[in-house]
Structure 1
Amino acid sequence: MHDAAFQLISGARLPGSSGLVDAWLGGDGAIAAVTPAGAVTEHGGVAAASARAIPADGRVLTSGLWDEHVHLGQWAQQSTRPDFGAADSPAAALALAAEFVAADAAGNAPAELIGMRLRGGDWGGLTREQLDSVSRDIPIVLVGLDLHGAWLNGAALARHGFHPDHPAHVVEDECFALVSELDRVTDEALDAAVDLAAQRAAALGVVGVVDFEIRWSFDDWVRRERGGFRALRVESAVYPENLDRALALGLRSGSLIGESGLVSVGPLKVITDGSLGTRTALCCDPYPGGGHGRELVAPGELAGLLTRAQRAGFWAAVHAIGDRANSQALDAFAATGATGRIEHAQLLRRSDVARFGALGVGASVQPAHLLDDIPSMRAVWADRAPGAFPLASLVASGADVVLGSDAPVAPLDPWLAIAAAVTRASDAGPAWVPEERLGVAAALACSMRGPLVPGAGDRADLVLLDSDPLAGAPDAHAAGFQRPAVAATLVGGVPSHVAADLAAAIARNGA
């Protein structure tokens, strides 16, 4: 990795084009000019022959990718824990837990099994008796795929302070508190994990994230920035319980944190319903077993929060998964005129889709959740299939649609999100409502804050790709999406990732 800004990217291609160009980068972190390759030997007082340059050698230059919804600290820690996502039944989950418990016992590992991404919502979860059959002595905590629920054996319930008669399944606030306890480590350990996770994100072409960590995270980011964190741009959210604290410090959306210019205050985040996996997403029609889900914030309270956010200079990010929750969130935006977007927007009534564009409300969607949720959607939303993840309809409505991962619910990997938006299918089955697929160019655009074809004046948050993602057939749905390899990622013209072969070429070039 290089810690100084480059002045020139030479011999690159732009997406969908075969001609070569040179991109001249200014000292202000923006693109100064894009010219035909070799046609201009000097720009802005910088000679091409002596410029600090990246020889692109025909690689494709485009804007860097954003993950618009992550929990970065949680992802940094939980991505190293056992993954139960492949367990497709109680028997498979229990067998996998038994394997990990046996491995822990043999290796003298910490005496608690914390597993992630359990698909318990697909098949009714696990009982305490089932988990106790694996071990009565070693605490076992299996966190659900969506982080809104977890299953514990008796030893884990006792260890984490639950009443002896508490059911094995904890949901919503109890689960959030439990996960926060599990993730409690020293600042040094957390910062090291976040730095590594950010480096891995940069290697995938990510230049920025919106961080929805459920804690007062501004002190964390000041500390990390002082410690040299430079891998990504970060917008850090505020939750209602910390809004007064933020206002007392004079903060608002866009306020810079630290001195690098890379970390800033993000939105006010409000969680209005639960999740599909726990059957707590708030829906208009009942679930097959009864109930409509949970309303975590009443409509009047939500309108009050949005009004306060707007007056205080915050844009709002409203978590809504069920169709009733989304409708109520749109009502609140309409009533208050607040600026913001709905996070997830997973199940929508057809009449509500058009309201996004009309109200100027954005839709922040995590397409990889579609792949994870297909079994649950078939089980409880089969009659509502057209309203689940209506990506193409949202884009057609004129809504500002942005993509993310919700890591650690899904991996922090924008190419996975793009592929899911393009194909809407896992390897094992057909596309879910195929008419709602996005084309490759549209999915890329929803993953970028800069243009697909960058030019003069655009921020130099860029990636160099070894292949052109637009080079396939115009409709690449049937063939799937082939992710390109990322040769380099630049944030403000400063590399946050350089692949080994390109680093060697830069060295030979004298940069």
Structure 2
Amino acid sequence: MSDVLVRGARPVPLVDGVPDSLVDVLIEGGAVAAVGPAVERPAGVEEYDAAGRWVMPGLWDTHVHLGQWTLTRGRLDTSRVESPEEAVNLVAAKVAEQPGTPVIGWGHRPGTWSREPTAADLDLAAGVTPVVLVAGDGHHAWLNSAAQAALGLPLREGMIAETEWFEAYQRLNALTDAGDDPASYRRTLDAAAALGIVGLVDFEFTGAVEAWRERWSQGCDRLRIAAAVYADQLDDVLTEGLRTGDPLVPGDGRLTMGPLKIISDGSLNTGTAWCRHPYAAGAHPDHPAGAPNLDLVELTVLLDRAHAAGLEVATHAIGDAAVGAALTAYERTRARGSLEHVQLVTPDDVRGLARLGLRASVQPHHLVDDRDLTEQIWPDRTDRCFAFRWLLDAGVPVSLGSDAPVSPLDPWLAIDAAVRRTGDSRPAWHAEQAMTRREALAASVGGHLTLRPGSPGDLIVLDDDPLVVGRPAVALTVAAGRVVHRL
């Protein structure tokens, strides 16, 4: 079914001028065909009675690692451990429960631990059973000796981080049954639809373009997907002549080519986010202000190649030095796209984003996860972290995402963090940088702020006003005219 008429719904006013009255919304051929009172239902079109519920454009998550999020369902949850000893005890219990089965974990954040974990810690708990514990930021992992050998890594006691880890991650499926088969993806997509999500930008590391083409025909065509590419896959995309927005399956505009993704610096938890000033604590002695993964020349070359071929570029930049270098590269190449995360900025950076017309793709729940660590290692610059108000006031287009599995794939959680800037009973962290609920919702709909003729046929019907209720129940989700969720 690609046609539907939603009858008697109240539009959510994400912009001024939205009528405060019940309307009907007709979607035909995957696009909105009519909006107004008493819209006539064409023959054969499904009718849904909204009964006065609220209607708005569907939600997007503009930064997801969908394969990793799908895999977390079957992985050992280490998100609550607060020391190496607690993690080791979890691993030992898992090995005892399933002897000989490799253990893959996800979620711990060792930046606040009192000591560095070692491979020897895990060797004692697991022996020859491979153990890989991926940190909650996704930028490093803690492996025992057996896992390092199995993944072809040089043996060492410390963490595997950044580029070396990203490359090793692609070999992780060799250790265990992946759990990212089409059926698992379908469950993930259905769960996303139940939250009101109609579209995702997928930044998975492992060949997303071809993988999506394959799984699309296996029932994973639930939502709109923009599949990103990394530098090691760029040649194949350029050879095929794909540009951002091009359909990956002929005739189906729901699955499209996304941007080139570049990881220009590291993360807060690894002490590798590249800053203009040294960390107060937590950085490597050789890199007291963090470090770039690419120098400016390498970054500029990548942006230039992608831009010349019609690809947008999504550049991961967490530290303010990384943000500044990325802005220089975008300006030199005139590339289009986004900065991802934009966790630490200066007012000049914000003005640069606005001047260049770049999007700030931000993940608000990271401020909940990183609040305490930021106070510890960047105590002199917390007022410049997650500077949503600066970005909005400067006119920078802002889009919200989760970075799942770093944070849960849940747009309502991201909206809440953007507005309240706290995840517990503590007061808002730098409340002066908060968004309003209207702004956060507007940053979550993929740039389509109203339902009007010609707009994408993506909408959600909610039991409550999302400008008032933090987590309204999603009664209906329609993506490209197809009902993908119904209570």
Identity of aligned residues (%): 42
Other-structure match for 1:60: 54
**Offset from partner CA, 1:120-151 (integer Å, 9 cap, x none):** 12224412333234232433221111111111
Give distance in 2, aligned partners of 1:469 and 1:189: 33
Other-structure match for 1:286: 278
Other-structure match for 1:23: 25
Other-structure match for 1:180: 170
The within-5 A match list for 1:234-245 is 234-245=225-236
Alignment-mate amino acid for residue 158 of structure 2: A
Other-structure match for 2:185: 194
**Residue 448 of structure 1: CA displacement?**
0.6
Alignment-mate amino acid for residue 339 of structure 1: R
Give distance in 1, aligned partners of 2:163 and 2:447: 37
Give distance in 2, aligned partners of 1:378 and 1:186: 39
Other-structure match for 1:466: 463
Choose the corresponding residue for 2:218, options 202, 227, 234. Answer: 227
Other-structure match for 1:477: none
Indicate how the Cα distance of structure 1 residues 158 and 302 shifts in structure 2: closer, same or farther if over 3 A, else same. closer
Alignment-mate amino acid for residue 119 of structure 1: R
Give distance in 1, aligned partners of 2:474 and 2:294: 42
**Residue 292 of structure 1: CA displacement?**
1.7
**Which sits farther off after the overlay, 397-406 or 227-236?**
227-236
Counterpart contact for 1:320–1:346, Cα < 8 Å: yes
Other-structure match for 2:377: 380
Choose the corresponding residue for 2:137, options 138, 146, 155. Answer: 146
Other-structure match for 2:108: 118
Give distance in 2, aligned partners of 1:80 and 1:380: 33
Other-structure match for 2:388: 391
Other-structure match for 1:273: 265
Counterpart contact for 1:74–1:183, Cα < 8 Å: no
**Offset from partner CA, 1:185-209 (integer Å, 9 cap, x none):** 7899522222221111111111111
Aligned to 2:77, the other structure's residue is in SS state coil
**Residue 34 of structure 1: CA displacement?**
1.6
**Residue 360 of structure 1: CA displacement?**
0.5
The within-5 A match list for 1:94-113 is 94-105=88-99, 111-113=101-103
**Offset from partner CA, 1:135-171 (integer Å, 9 cap, x none):** 324332211111111112233333333334x123111
Aligned to 2:345, the other structure's residue is in SS state coil
With normalisation by structure 2, the TM-score equals 0.92
Give distance in 2, aligned partners of 1:189 and 1:471: 37
Counterpart contact for 1:84–1:117, Cα < 8 Å: yes
Give distance in 2, aligned partners of 1:91 and 1:372: 21
Alignment-mate amino acid for residue 109 of structure 2: R
Other-structure match for 1:170: 160
How many residue pairs get aligned? The number is: 474
**Residue 84 of structure 1: CA displacement?**
1.0
Counterpart contact for 1:64–1:450, Cα < 8 Å: no
Q: Is 2:397 the counterpart of 1:400?
A: yes
With normalisation by structure 1, the TM-score equals 0.88
Counterpart contact for 1:77–1:183, Cα < 8 Å: no
Give distance in 2, aligned partners of 1:405 and 1:316: 19
Indicate how the Cα distance of structure 1 residues 425 and 115 shifts in structure 2: closer, same or farther if over 3 A, else same. same
Alignment-mate amino acid for residue 101 of structure 2: A
Choose the corresponding residue for 2:69, options 75, 89, 103. Answer: 75
Structure 2 gaps of 5+ residues are: 14-18
Counterpart contact for 1:157–1:168, Cα < 8 Å: no
Give distance in 1, aligned partners of 2:20 and 2:309: 48
Alignment-mate amino acid for residue 285 of structure 1: H
Alignment-mate amino acid for residue 77 of structure 1: L
Counterpart contact for 1:145–1:409, Cα < 8 Å: yes
The within-5 A match list for 1:279-428 is 279-289=271-281, 290=285, 291-428=288-425
Choose the corresponding residue for 1:446, options 443, 449, 455. Answer: 443
Give distance in 2, aligned partners of 1:215 and 1:95: 31
Other-structure match for 2:16: none
Q: Is 2:33 the counterpart of 1:32?
A: yes
Task: Kindly report structure 1 stretches of 4+ aligned residues shifted beyond 4 Å.
Answer: 184-189
Q: Is 2:6 the counterpart of 1:9?
A: yes
**Residue 19 of structure 1: CA displacement?**
2.8
Q: Is 2:118 the counterpart of 1:156?
A: no
Aligned to 1:85, the other structure's residue is in SS state coil
Counterpart contact for 2:324–2:349, Cα < 8 Å: yes
Aligned to 1:118, the other structure's residue is in SS state coil
Indicate how the Cα distance of structure 1 residues 31 and 203 shifts in structure 2: closer, same or farther if over 3 A, else same. same
Other-structure match for 1:90: 84
Indicate how the Cα distance of structure 1 residues 305 and 449 shifts in structure 2: closer, same or farther if over 3 A, else same. same
Give distance in 2, aligned partners of 1:72 and 1:140: 22
Alignment-mate amino acid for residue 372 of structure 1: D
Give distance in 2, aligned partners of 1:294 and 1:159: 29
Aligned to 1:383, the other structure's residue is in SS state coil
Give distance in 1, aligned partners of 2:471 and 2:125: 40
**Residue 92 of structure 1: CA displacement?**
3.0
Give distance in 1, aligned partners of 2:20 and 2:358: 37
